[in-house]
Amino acid sequence: MARTGTQSAADAGDTRQRILAIASELFAEKGYAGTSIADISGRLGTTKAALYYHFSSKGDMLTALLGEFLALSADLVEEAIATPLAPEQILGRLIDLTVDSRGLMATVGRDPSVRSAMRAEARRNGSGKQVDVIVSVLVGADQSRAALIRAHSALAITKESTLALIEDNQGALTEEDRAEILAAALRALSAPAAAMSA
């Protein structure tokens, strides 16, 4: 009997993750505002009532997606500080995180209401300073304004190039593309030779 209960809990967890994956896809395709509960339940192949067993609203789905992404980001920040990770490792992990969260990232990029929800969730769970911490780790000992600009540029290249190439390649990122994005981000992070010799 206990095994059946465990299996049911596992099935519920699987269904919840499937709902979130479908919601993320639809939010990216149609926008958050343009996606209805009926769209999500239709793609899932279930009723709206069954969907409401797992989430009380579309907003709850968005909050869950944002919470998952922010938790993964927080894990990376903690590891970057504790280990510490080299810039190449941090930027590589950010590429992978962007790939794994591509539906959500596309939605955040296109929808101001989702960006607002992401900021609110970051404030709620205390993860609002994650980008600042990553930038600080990337900047390292060189606390100059130029180093700060290079760190932000490397992050922008990492995120925007990854999203653009995923969209261009039907949702996938090749190893060659990943390597080129990482190389471009590391070039942006490096101080120009003239500045280093000065």
Q: What is the pLDDT of residues 146-192, one digit of tens each?
A: 999 999 999 999 999 998 888 877 778 899 999 999 999 999 999 77
Number of domains in the chain: 1
Q: Tell me the CA end-to-end span of the chain in Å, nearest whole number.
A: 73
Q: What is the pLDDT of residues 43-95, one digit of tens each?
A: 999 989 889 999 999 999 998 988 888 888 888 888 888 888 899 999 999 99
Mean per-residue pLDDT over the chain, rounded? 84
pLDDT classification of 131: cutoffs 50, 70, 90: confident
Q: What is the pLDDT of residues 89-111, one digit of tens each?
A: 999 999 999 888 888 887 887 78
What CATH code is carried by the domain that includes residue 79? 1.10.357.10
Q: Rounded distance, CA 69 to CA 99, Å?
A: 11
Domain ranges, residue 126? 2-197
pLDDT classification of 11: cutoffs 50, 70, 90: low
**Which among 78, 103, 107, 104 is positioned nearest to 90, based on CA atoms?**
78
Q: What's the mean pLDDT in 115-124?
A: 80
The residue assigned the tokens 């990492």 is: 158
8 Å CB contact between 25 and 103? yes
8 Å CB contact between 173 and 166? yes
For 137, the token pair is 């780790």
pLDDT of residue 198: 45
Which pairs from 176-182 meet CB under 8 Å and 24+ separation? Answer: 178/92, 178/95, 181/95, 181/157, 182/88, 182/91, 182/92, 182/95, 182/158
**Which among 178, 196, 191 is positioned nearest to 91, based on CA atoms?**
178
pTM of the predicted protein model: 0.77
8 Å CB contact between 73 and 131? no
CA distances from 79 to 15, 68, 130, 143, 155 (A): 30, 17, 12, 21, 17
